[in-house]
Amino acid sequence: MKHLIPFTTALLTAFLAVLLLTRAVHSGPLADRPRQVSSLTAVNLEHPLSGLRVGSSDMQSTSEFSLTRIVTITVGTTTVPLTPGLNSRWQNDLFSQVFIDSSSIRLPADAYAISVTLINGEYSIDYSEPAILITNSQGLYYEYQTYQQALRFGNQILISQTYRYNRPLHHVATMIFTDPYQYVGYTGYTPTLVNARQLHWDESFTETKLNEFEAATWLVHPTLPKPDLEILTATVRNEMNHIHVAASIRNGGFMAAGAPAYLNLYDRLAPSVPPTGPLDLTNGWCSQTPFRPCGGTGNPLPIILPAQAEFFNAEFDLSPFSGTHDIYLYIDALGGSQGLNVESVENNNLKLAGSTLRWNAFIFLPLIARN
């Protein structure tokens, strides 16, 4: 059943209409809009950044964007020590979209606390979809929350943001976390560290194609036991400038390495400087490019339990530069200054697998068969 906007909100609607006319934000068609996907937990409705955000500084959409998505996430003390609990609010700026006759905006299956503000027209909420049904409107603003679960890995928890949209997209997100959890690092899009307890993303996708956003943020509980990843052995073998690398990695700590442990392989010309840490990616496999954090196979390593070891094998072509190549391995790359896993020992993650010479010319002798 469709509901008219109550008369008590008429003044707010009129004010919103004036703002919208000055902003001139144009949204693309919603009929082909994919379902929105998140990986967040919502445990209650209270949120320090919740409420209607019309005209706030967070609203940064301009005419080249079909959608501005604003996400605010709070990690509270309910995460101590075992069950991650998050507040999440998804705020969608779809101003100046004209809805003639009827149209529908689909929401995630677990959406709740749905809030809608319209310019003229009518709307209703179909909770079985769920979806917002709109008739004869000149634009709207809506919010909702989700119940999805954050993931726990050992002494760390993962907060994930994902989105796929086939129109120009502007993604704005803020995450606030409180004691005792501490920020470890990220994969995917790089957040800005506002202060010791707040991260921020501001990403724009201006092309008309399937735009994908993925940001994984890791928090650690500092009082729980920690893993200790160590490269025990590493070797390199050269076959006509195609090298084979083998390594063994042990967990000498008292807890499994819960976050993904990426092994970065470096090909540096001698005399070389060893990698200085997880974020030193020069001439290495690993990259901070979303969806492709590390090259090669076998990355990330499987979860390594305490006192257990994992074996790694890889092969690749040497870079096309003459001379001696130093091949280094670094376990637990990416993330922050400590990698993605906070370990009890951080200075045993690097090893020189070996040095090998690149040849630019080969002489092949014919095989002579004896009768």
The DSSP result for 138-166, as a single string, is S-EEEEEE--PPPEEETTEEEEEEEEEES
Q: Which residues of 36-65 are buried (b: 16+ CB within 10 A; e: fewer)?
A: bebbbbbbeeebebbeebbeeebbebeeeb
Both tokens of 344, joined, read 């009890």
| 331: nearest Cα among 311, 316, 317 | 311
pLDDT confidence tier of residue 313, bands split at 50, 70 and 90: very high
* In the predicted structure, residue 344 carries a pLDDT above the cut 50: yes
As a whole number, mean pLDDT of residues 282-302 equals 85
Q: Is the dihedral of CA 280, 283, 287, 293 positive or negative?
A: negative
Specify whether the CB–CB gap between 23 and 62 falls below 8 A.
no
More confident residue, 147 or 125: 125
Q: Report how far residue 346's alpha carbon sits from residue 220's, in angstroms, rounded to the nearest whole number.
A: 15
Specify whether the CB–CB gap between 139 and 118 falls below 8 A.
yes
* Mean of per-residue pLDDT scores for the chain: 77
CA neighbours within 13 Å on the CB side: how many for 351? 19
As a whole number, mean pLDDT of residues 194-211 equals 92
Positions of CATH 2.60.40.10 in the chain: 229-358
Specify whether the CB–CB gap between 225 and 155 falls below 8 A.
yes
What is the model's pTM? Answer: 0.69
Arch. (CATH architecture) of 229-358: Sandwich (2.60)
As a whole number, mean pLDDT of residues 329-356 equals 94
- Say which range, 33-42, 231-240, 348-357, has the weakest mean pLDDT: 33-42
Give per-residue pLDDT as tens, 242-251: 999 999 999 9
Q: Is the dihedral of CA 190, 194, 196, 199 positive or negative?
A: negative
Chain-centroid distance of CA 111 in Å reads: 21
* In the predicted structure, residue 55 carries a pLDDT above the cut 70: no
Strand order in the sheet with 99-106: 3-4, 122-126, 131-137, 99-106
